[in-house]
Amino acid sequence: MTLSTVGTAATDTLPAVRRAVIFDLDGVIVDSFAVMEEAFAIAYREVVGEGEAPFEEYRRHQGRYFPDIMRIMGLPLEMEEPFVRESYRLAPQVPVFDGISELLLTLRARGFKLAVATGKAGKRARSLLDELGLLSFFDHVIGSDEVARPKPAPDIVEHALALLGLSPEEAVMVGDAPTDIASAHGAGVASVAALWAEVDDEDALLASGPGTVLHRPAELLALCPAVPRV
């Protein structure tokens, strides 16, 4: 097992008892980038016109809410409608990362509560997880449209904690983008960088200060022993 720790943030001190895992969605649970690129290209062609859609730049802003990315990139907000439409159409083609289903089953068997905190809209995230047969694993699935401030603000992680009824010290956040790590740190939650996807900018992810870096989903289990029975 490859398990390395980087950073020295006080928020990443391991608690006595960890009871929940909060996951990002894209790049952590599902390998959605090929489908995302196709949907983005179609939306760009319909709204902007001919030319190459700047998907690589789009990926650098992963973890943020789609309209926020459009504003950052100077692209029309009207791209959201065809992008969402195509994302729904292509959802059955999205693969789940190897080892994720087994990880979720084991975490549940160990007594963990599970949540998703994603840059996607909540309805679309829940629809995708339902399509892939994973929705029942999660106590809550929260989208960026369901909090006042999306990532990198801490709101979505704080909202997940409130719904789970847990303190920051009882949870860990797993993400593949600096926005995930920033959101976790802002909420006082231990952070894990997931490197089992093709991370667009690994240096930036590591520079964001995750408490732990993992290369395979199963490695998370070393941080999540069974929750003691009360």
pLDDT in tens, 132-191: 999 999 999 999 999 999 999 999 999 999 999 999 999 999 999 999 999 999 999 999
Do 60 and 123 lie in a common domain? no
φ and ψ of 23, to 5 deg: -110, 140
Range of the domain at 212: 3-31+95-223
State the helix-helix crossing angle for 80-90 and 122-131, rounded to 10 degrees. 20
Do 59 and 103 lie in a common domain? no
188 forms beta bridges with: none
What total number of domains does the chain contain? 2
Do 122 and 55 lie in a common domain? no
Give the per-residue pLDDT at 89: 96
Do 112 and 183 lie in a common domain? yes
Percent of the chain with pLDDT over 90: 86
Residue 230 lies in a domain: no
Domain boundary among 76, 93, 110: 93
Residue 228 lies in a domain: no
Cα dihedral 204→209→211→217 (10° resolution): -10
Instruction: For residue 2, name the pLDDT band (cuts at 50, 70, 90).
Output: very low
Mean local confidence (pLDDT), 78-106 = 97
Q: Can you give the CATH number for the domain in which 11 is found?
A: 3.40.50.1000
Give the per-residue pLDDT at 108: 98
Helical residues (DSSP H) of the chain, grouped into ranges = 33-47, 55-59, 66-73, 80-90, 100-109, 122-131, 155-164, 178-186, 202-207
39 has pLDDT over 70: yes
